[in-house]
A = this chain, B = another copy of it.
Amino acid sequence: MKDLPLSKVYQLLEPGPVVLLTTAQKGRANVMAMSWHMMVEFEPPLVACVVSNADYSFAALRATKECVIAIPALKLARKVVEVGNCSGRNVAKFEAFGLTPVPAERVSPPLVAECFANLECRVADTRLVNRYNLFVLEVLKAWSDPTQKNPKTIHHHGHGRFAVDGEMIRPRSRMP
């Protein structure tokens, strides 16, 4: 995996792909699927996300204040669904679904080798956690996999239906 400039992180998350979120606590890594996230600032990149307090990852994220956002391409869609359909409480998901944890540089939770981008994050603001389960994260370090060219991402429409990226357009503006 290759360094990705922090100034380009927004281009990955702004389109709204389903992502994986890894956490680690007491030496055990976990991974969940997440669609409720958005950019908050370009650089240093800030990201807001909602991790339900019903999710097993919630306690680890709140306690360790670290996570990795890993972005899967279409080829991982089935694994993403499987990851999302069970809990780290009773499943060792990296092993169960054949995902490869790779040590991160700045945080304890692992990168996901199969994803085309990985963002190492620390929790920057917890003021809205108690009320909304809303965390503000700062991206400390970003990686991309240069072997995955023009990856298509998936976007959750509810009930396990996903839109896959189609054509890329660049509408001409009539503005000067």
Contacts and interface: CB of A to CB of B under 8 A. Distances in A.
Contact of A125 (B39, B85, B128): B128
A14 B40 contact: no
A161 B157 contact: no
A173 B81 contact: yes
Interface residues of A, number: 55
Contact of A37 (B38, B153, B165, B173): B38
B132 A128 contact: no
A35 B42 CA distance: 13
Interface of A: 8, 10-11, 14-17, 35-41, 46, 48-50, 77-78, 80-82, 85-86, 125, 127-128, 131-132, 134, 136, 152-158, 160-175
